[in-house]
């Protein structure tokens, strides 16, 4: 039984990148996972992905491009104001302007750079660099 599908997805991607695989099969599928993958693709961390429907539930077939050094979820999911992003950048990212934090905002899941430019806060979900 899976307790945190988002954490399982991140560790599966990281493990497949570490052993040099070019594809990854992600199961189970949720809206949050699909949105997080969309944002990762927009920022150049993963390649294309597609959802495949089968009789035992859907899964995502993901192309890896080898640009993930580290990724993971942030637990607990801290509530962050616009002014507090730099504190969490220092905590989860290795250097300034290296990597992204994924934030769940009222306007959807986005990077912390987008949230800062739109002057909004949210809840931290994950990080990737």
Condensed to tens digits (0 to 9), the pLDDT of residues 93-109 reads: 999 889 999 999 999 99
Among candidate residues 14, 32, 63, the one where a domain is terminated: 63
3-state class percentages of the chain: helix first, strand second, coil last, to nearest 5:
35, 30, 40
Asked if 81 and 108 sit in the same domain, the reply is yes
Residues spanned by the domain of 83: 71-128
Asked if 10 and 59 sit in the same domain, the reply is yes
- The per-residue pLDDT for 106 is 96
Taking all residues of the chain, what is their mean pLDDT, rounded to a whole number?
95
Indicate which CATH number applies to the domain containing 57. Answer: 3.30.1370.30
Q: Residue 5: left (phi > 0), alpha (psi -120 to 50), or beta?
A: alpha
In total, how many domains does the chain have?
2
CA dist., res. 102 & res. 81, Å (int): 14
- The per-residue pLDDT for 2 is 74
- The per-residue pLDDT for 78 is 95
Asked if 58 and 90 sit in the same domain, the reply is no
Q: Specify the DSSP class assigned to residue 3.
A: S
Low-confidence ranges of the chain (pLDDT < 70): 1
pTM above 0.85, yes or no: yes
- The per-residue pLDDT for 1 is 54
């Amino acid at each position: 039984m899976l307790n945190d599908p988002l954490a399982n997805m991140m560790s599966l991607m990281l493990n497949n990148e570490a052993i040099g695989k070019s594809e990854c099969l992600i199961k189970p599928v949720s809206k949050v996972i699909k949105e997080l993958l969309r944002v990762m693709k927009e920022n150049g961390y993963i390649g294309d992905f597609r959802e495949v429907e089968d009789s035992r539930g859907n899964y995502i077939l993901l192309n890896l491009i080898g640009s993930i050094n580290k990724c993971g979820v942030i637990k607990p999911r801290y509530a962050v104001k616009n002014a507090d992003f730099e504190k969490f950048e220092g905590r989860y990212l290795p250097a300034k302007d290296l990597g992204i934090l994924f934030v769940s905002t009222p306007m959807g899941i986005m990077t912390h750079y987008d949230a800062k430019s739109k002057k909004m806060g949210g809840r931290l979900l994950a990080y990737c660099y």
